Amino acid sequence: MGVAIRKTKAELGLADLYQGARRYLPGGEEISAVRAAAFERFTAVGLPHRRVEAWRYTDLRTQMKEAKRLASLPDDAAKTRAREAHDLFAGAGFRKLVIVDGAFVPELSDLANLESGLTIQPMADALAADKPLLSQRLGPVVPDDDPALALNTALAANGVVILVAPGTVLSRPIHVAFVTTNWVATSMFTRSQVNIGTAASATIVESHQGPDGSEYQVNTAMQLVVGDEARIDHIKVVSEGSSALHISSLLANIGARATFNQLGFVAGGSLVRNQLFVHIAGEGTIADIRGGSLLSGTQHADTTLAIEHAAENCQSRETFKAVVGDTARAVFQGKITVSPGAQKTDAKMMSRALLLSDEAEAYSKPELEIFADDVQCGHGTTTGAIDDELLFYLMARGIPPKQAKALLIQAFVGEIIEGAANESVRDALTGAMLGWLGQRE
């Protein structure tokens, strides 16, 4: 074994959190054992740092100074703040489920007239009933020792469980709003589970937000199980407060002949790590995964994607774009693995960064790991500033430089937003982008 490394203040704090909470966390004996094992895995590796390849550009050991205390259950004041919080999807008619400071709040959630075939339950209730949701395995793409996920498994207290029965087509999107209301910095661990049955379809929007200036810490994870011939449109918007630490993991397991559309949009938070582990288990599935990050100030946002083609005849497109201003830093790590036998895989990954200042940074690490011989796989990456020729063309038509740059940024990010099939989602994301551009002026 390696040299024992002295535990950091944050690691000691996390251990305290777990020891203090483990007796109260929902779940019977079986789940307690899963949690204990997960925490042991975390303890073995500690907070990841730059010598851990998967976390190379996001040195959590250095960045995370301490572990904030666990958020308490939201009181009436917190619920009121959550109700009044800005809703990017207001007016879109989505079914809204609200998680306040890490706790599912039924009275703020729209649980009326559930469509037949749709079941919604707080994760805390599911765990209390000892449903084995935390222990599901997802094939080799999720490293057993991923420290963020291990911490989530150990400490997740609540979240939401959404079950869509086979053949159920939900026309009304579901919006899961994670709202942090507390000005006092706390930490929140949430875990959600979404199952889309065979030939069912649903649109799930996740949003994460909280107050600017509060150094709260979010560790959130969602497991997504998509059946054969099913379709899921999953959109995640991270607009956390300016000082927040946000770590999220998406674990997706997708069946055959399914459609998987995933779109991540980051326009907030101080330190964001967005990890996606996608396992395509069945043949003939089509996956479209896109991500857009709009970063300024000293923000750091890391998107790390591992997608595994484990079956034949599947197609995936991975498109990621980052707009990086000031001294912000964007990271994209993308790995496509084609398992033995996954012939006729067609996978293309592209990451592009647009740097708005000389101090802005973008790191891109694409990887292909191919164990089949009849596949089409490729990746590309570009990093550059705004094109002076394009800028001049717009200015020569009378458009002032600031507005011309904004137009070019919109055009750059537009390709990501266009990926959302739902018009209200596109409108909301466009609004978020315009808001971000407006703040820069």
Residues of this chain that bind another protein (CB under 8 A)? 388-390, 392-401, 403-404, 407-408, 410-412, 414-415
Number of C-alpha atoms within 13 angstroms, CB side, residue 61? Answer: 17
Task: Tell me which residue of 232, 236, 375 sits closest to 309, measured CA to CA.
Answer: 375
Compute the C-alpha angle 33/146/37, nearest 5°. 15
Instruction: Tell me whether residue 279 or residue 352 sits nearer to another protein (CB atom).
Output: 352
User: DSSP secondary-structure letter at 86?
Assistant: -
- Look at the chain and count its residues: 441
Instruction: Tell me whether residue 183 or residue 412 sits nearer to another protein (CB atom).
Output: 412
CB of 386 to another protein, least distance (A): 12
Compute the C-alpha angle 255/308/174, nearest 5°. 50
Instruction: Tell me whether residue 143 or residue 414 sits nearer to another protein (CB atom).
Output: 414
Q: Are 105 and 99 in contact (CB under 8 A)?
A: yes
Distance between CA atoms of 81 and 84, rounded to whole angstroms?
5
Instruction: Tell me whether residue 128 or residue 386 sits nearer to another protein (CB atom).
Output: 386
CB of 4 to another protein, least distance (A): 52
Number of C-alpha atoms within 13 angstroms, CB side, residue 402? Answer: 5
Q: Are 289 and 314 in contact (CB under 8 A)?
A: no
Instruction: Tell me whether residue 341 or residue 400 sits nearer to another protein (CB atom).
Output: 400
CB of 408 to another protein, least distance (A): 7
CB of 398 to another protein, least distance (A): 4
Distance between CA atoms of 186 and 216, rounded to whole angstroms?
5
Dihedral of the alpha carbons of 100, 104, 105, 106, in degrees to the nearest 10: 160
CB of 413 to another protein, least distance (A): 8
- Counting Cβ atoms within 10 Å, is residue 374 exposed (0-12), middle (13-18) or buried (19+)? exposed
Radius of gyration, alpha carbons of the chain: 21
User: DSSP secondary-structure letter at 6?
Assistant: P
User: DSSP secondary-structure letter at 198?
Assistant: T
Instruction: Tell me whether residue 260 or residue 265 sits nearer to another protein (CB atom).
Output: 265
Instruction: Tell me whether residue 169 or residue 411 sits nearer to another protein (CB atom).
Output: 411
CB of 352 to another protein, least distance (A): 12
Structure tokens at 215: 């150094």
Instruction: Tell me whether residue 371 or residue 393 sits nearer to another protein (CB atom).
Output: 393
Q: Any bridge partners for residue 303, and if so which?
A: 274, 332
How would you label 302-339 residue by residue, b for 16+ Cβ within 10 Å and e otherwise? bbbbbbbbbbbbbbbebbbbbbbbebbbbbbbbbbbbb
Instruction: Tell me whether residue 110 or residue 415 sits nearer to another protein (CB atom).
Output: 415
